[in-house]
Chain A
Amino acid sequence: MRYLDEQTIDFLAIGAAVLGSGGGGDPYLGKLMAKEAIIEKGKVRLIDVEKVPDDELVIPSAMMGAPAVMLEKLPNGGEPEAAFRAVESFFRKKAYATMSIEAGGINSCIPVYTAARLGLPLVDVDGMGRAFPEIPMVTFSLGGLQASPMVCCDEKGNKVVLETIDNPWVETLSRAVTVAMGLSSIIGLYVMDGKTLKEFGVRGTISLAIEIGERIVSANKRKESPVDSILEVTKGYRLFEGKVIDVQRDLTTGFVRGQTIFEGIESYKGSSFRLDFQNENLVAWLDNEPCAMVPDLVTVLDRETGSPITTEHLRYGQRVVVIGMPCAPIWRTEKGLAQVGPRYFKYDIDYEPIEDLMRRRSP
């Protein structure tokens, strides 16, 4: 067990953006909210999964919406509490703890904010080990857990509790609700007991994110590149080094779909590199061959500072290192890949683990 203080939140936010795989939303806002809550209410207790009794209620909390909207329309502050009260009254049971459903990006920090505000512990776990664009894309789905009942709260004080027949309907209805709420809402979903949490949660992701963030900050202090140190702790690979030469975004589908084109520098000079994304990075193509693919993680880092750059912040001329990291093993099962593999994202390719792809490249 450890306590999360203001400084730990700085590390968490940086590490969460690395795990965000290009998406998940800029954690900056969540970081500010979490820090304010900690200053006001005190440090947050981070507990191990094993500490949660089997029959206790855990309510994950998160923020849903379009990243660019969250940069403009900031929360009211009362939403997480409203969300929890709604869920608790539905189950007629008090929450034992809160947790992150998506440790990549802003939703690493929102549960810290909730935990501080409500005086609850935060469980060191999440349901993705990264960020994903759709609500059903959590490990708990593989165990049959439903996202419903789900609650959406907006800054105006509106609350909508959704009870749906399955997860796709949760996605459809909560999206419609969130659009009507102005493309940003605070949500509670995948409410579960301690037993389910232990069986299907991706363990230790909050402390992993903190560790990554701490390594980046300390490398920067020593004026060193943190890339190797990040690869060590995430068991990841360096995929490419280069310069952004074009970013194309298409918003027609309700997701930010697009691709980023890079031009190689140094040992990657002469190579072409492309990253396809749908909110998060999906497939990385080196000289038109895939070198990493969803559900493995692909993240773009600033070449000098190692700071993660999310897809909405990619700009022409940036010098970057692209890294790939293996996903949580549960995603590599048949059921997992059916839900988040390349074919789900309309690619006509079979999933190959990043370890295999990299082994084939290096003679």
Chain B
Amino acid sequence: MSYRMGIDVGGTNTDAVVLDVDDRVVAKSKRPTSEDISSGIKEAVDAVLVESRIDPSLIINAMLGTTHSTNGIVERKGLSKIGIIRLCAPSGLGVPPYLDWPSDIIPHIGKNYVMVKGGYEYNGKPIAEPDKDEIKEACHALQNKNIEALAVSCAFSPVNNDQELLVKEIASDVFGTDFPVSLSSEIGSIGILERENATILNAAILRIAASAYGSFQNVLREHGIKANLFITQNDGSLMSVDYACMYPVFTIASGPTNSLRGAAFLSGLSDAIVVDVGGTTTDVGILRSGFPRESTTAVEIGGVRTNFRMPDLIAIGLGGGSIVRYEQDVLTVGPDSVGYKITKEARIFGGSTLTATDIAVASGMAELGNPSSVADVDRSTVKKAVKIITEMVEEVIDRMKTTSEDMPVITVGGGSILLPGRLRGASKVIKPENFEVANAIGAAISQISGSIDGVYDVATKGRNNVITEVKEAAINEAIRAGAEAKTVEIVDLEEIPLAYLPSNAVRFRVKAVGQLKK
């Protein structure tokens, strides 16, 4: 018998689950997320191991879902001071880095960049030959600014990454081999500004990521868990810890992805609206064929424009800890929340703050804590608050929908006890078993992926033949990485035309994912 463990570090709670080979939930736990991440993980793991009573060494895979490192971007906390070397001159000087960045992030990461000779034309010819001395000088100049990590971008590096690799080599001479360097060709695709932005963000959160994932490893090892460790990405697939330490930016929005994937798994539905109610916020997304629908607009992370693919989500300030109060005779719910302090501050847990969870208990929708402590809340307040909560969620459901037809709605997350069994716009409301740990289950069932990235001649082979070929190659990669063959499917296919010449060369980036073999 072997097991898998899934852990989700949310803004309020850290959840852990243990699944058996048949994906049955053997044990689950929920503990407050701690400031340092690791003690929250430790408590959740402790609890889930006690409940499961299994030998920890039987856990062969452990998956962590956390957006901790990217919260740093949004909250402007713990970010490293960055230097950028952009290989582009004489092009690009008219549009330097950071032109479009929100000004409040600059004090945290600095505004240190050097644009040097280099970059490629569309056909792979260098715009200018890179000059090693100039690059070395740029490294020294950035070193004098006391940068803590280096980001490297280069015109057309998705077509040829040689120049970026050259900078990395020179940087390791100047800064030392352990100095963190992020290359744009490994982070994003065509569109130098967006790719460069994502690379800067990646470099800025390397330190936060290393400490979060490091403590995750330590916690598991301390518990005698010898499992393979994975971190979940925002497309529902996994990264090794080593890889995640280099590319933490790929974890952005992995939390909502996990909850959507978990909801699909728990409900058995592949097309539905998912309402994930946490302690402070509610995320609403849409499942299409079991995966989150992607956003179509340019994605901004903490106000910084990138060209990532991200799940299409609407978040509102409603959660189990949302504070319920009268403001000038008008009843309001949230957006502020008692967060993880709910177990101390909510009325039903002996506190003095009226929260959304207290309302759920007072209305009889949930049985939790000490119901007598909310007996004095007057009926009309309870009724009004329930109505406000219901309408908030109904409005978001309507905004997410693409047709006027009713759709199934899956409600998950610890705070989903706030929601009634019927919602306007929902053909049915499903509250699956283990709904409160859907995130951790989503992490545990994350898939293993295989990617293909290459330039193909579509003129001679034909576009359809090339597409078939790259899809097959990606599927084989996923199987080689450990996926169960019959579960593998293509999740991403990107076509980047490179040459506007008769050769008709196209870069294809294809990603296939499948379930880990058990």
Contact = CB atoms under 8 A, between A and B. Distances in A.
A71 B500 contact: no
Given A29-B95, A155-B90, A252-B459, A72 B402 contact: no
A256 B399 CA distance: 35
Interface in B272-321: 288, 293-294, 296-297
Nearest to B194: A71
Interface stretch (A124-132, A312-320, A342-350): A312-320
Given A155-B91, A266-B403, A317-B293, A32 B99 contact: yes
Nearest to A183: B122
B448 interface: no
Contacts of B294: 317
A120 to B, nearest CB: 18
A249 interface: yes
A74 interface: yes
A319 B402 contact: yes
B297 A305 contact: yes
Contact of A76 (B94, B193, B404, B463): B94
Contacts of B99: 32, 35-36
A182 interface: yes
B74 interface: no
Given A72-B191, A73-B121, A157-B90, A265 B403 contact: yes
Interface string A285-324: 0000000000000000011110101000001011100000
B504 interface: yes
A155 B497 CA distance: 22
B497 A249 contact: yes
A251 B500 contact: yes
Interface string B471-500: 000000000000000000000000111011
B94 A256 contact: no
A248 B506 CA distance: 12
A76 B91 contact: yes
A98 B193 CA distance: 28
A248 B463 contact: yes
A292 B122 CA distance: 34
Interface in B155-210: 155-156, 190-193
B127 interface: yes
B192 A72 contact: yes
A119 interface: no
B94 A33 contact: yes
A97 B90 CA distance: 28
A265 B94 contact: no
A254 interface: yes
B155 A77 contact: no
- Describe B's contact surface by its main secondary structure: loop
Contacts of B88: 73-74
Nearest to B94: A77
B120 to A, nearest CB: 8
B100 interface: yes
A243 B293 CA distance: 13
B268 interface: no
A360 interface: no
B500 A66 contact: yes
Contacts of B58: none
Interface in B97-128: 99-100, 119, 121-122, 125, 127-128
A176 interface: no
Contacts of A183: 121-122, 500
A361 B473 CA distance: 47
B92 interface: yes
Given A69-B500, A155-B90, A256-B497, A74 B95 contact: yes
B364 interface: no
Contact of A251 (B155, B297, B399, B499): B499
A183 B155 CA distance: 13
Nearest to A248: B463
Contacts of A75: 91-92, 94-95
Contact of A71 (B91, B119, B190, B499): B190
A66 B296 contact: no
A70 to B, nearest CB: 10
Given A72-B192, A251-B497, A319-B402, A182 B121 contact: yes
Q: How large is the interface on A (under 10, 10 to 19, 20 to 34, 35 or more residues)?
A: 35 or more
A315 B494 CA distance: 9
Interface in A48-80: 66, 68-69, 71-79
A302 B296 contact: yes
A307 B297 CA distance: 8
B93 interface: yes
Nearest to A77: B94
A72 B127 CA distance: 12
Given A73-B121, A252-B459, A315-B296, A156 B90 contact: yes
B155 A72 contact: yes
B459 to A, nearest CB: 7
A177 to B, nearest CB: 14
B383 to A, nearest CB: 27
Given A32-B99, A251-B499, A319 B122 contact: no
Contacts of A250: 504
Contacts of A156: 90-91, 127-128
A73 B122 contact: yes
B403 A74 contact: no
Contacts of B193: 29, 32, 71, 74
Nearest to B294: A317
Contacts of A266: 403-404
Contacts of B95: 29, 32-33, 36, 74-75, 77
Given A29-B95, A32-B100, A319-B296, A303 B500 contact: no
Contacts of B192: 71-74
A309 to B, nearest CB: 7
Contacts of B191: 71-72
Interface string A138-182: 000000000000000001110000000000000000000001001
Nearest to A75: B94
Interface string B49-75: 000000000000000000000000000
Chain A CB within 10 A, most for which of B93, B122, B294, B504 = B122
Contacts of B495: 249
B140 to A, nearest CB: 25
Nearest to B494: A315
Given A251-B504, A252-B502, A256-B497, A309 B296 contact: yes
B407 to A, nearest CB: 13
Contacts of B155: 72-74
A3 to B, nearest CB: 21
Interface in A235-265: 243, 248-252, 254, 256, 265
Contacts of B288: 317
A250 B462 CA distance: 11
Nearest to B404: A266
Nearest to B463: A248
B504 A76 contact: no
B122 A66 contact: yes
A109 to B, nearest CB: 12
A156 B93 CA distance: 11
Interface string B453-469: 00000010001000000
A78 B95 CA distance: 11
A254 B500 contact: yes
Nearest to B505: A251
B297 A72 contact: no
Interface of A: 29, 32-33, 35-36, 66, 68-69, 71-79, 155-157, 179, 182-183, 243, 248-252, 254, 256, 265-266, 302-305, 307, 309, 315, 317-319
16 contacts: A32-B100, A36-B95, A66-B500, A72-B156, A72-B192, A73-B121, A73-B155, A74-B91, A155-B91, A156-B128, A265-B403, A266-B403, A303-B402, A307-B297, A309-B296, A318-B296
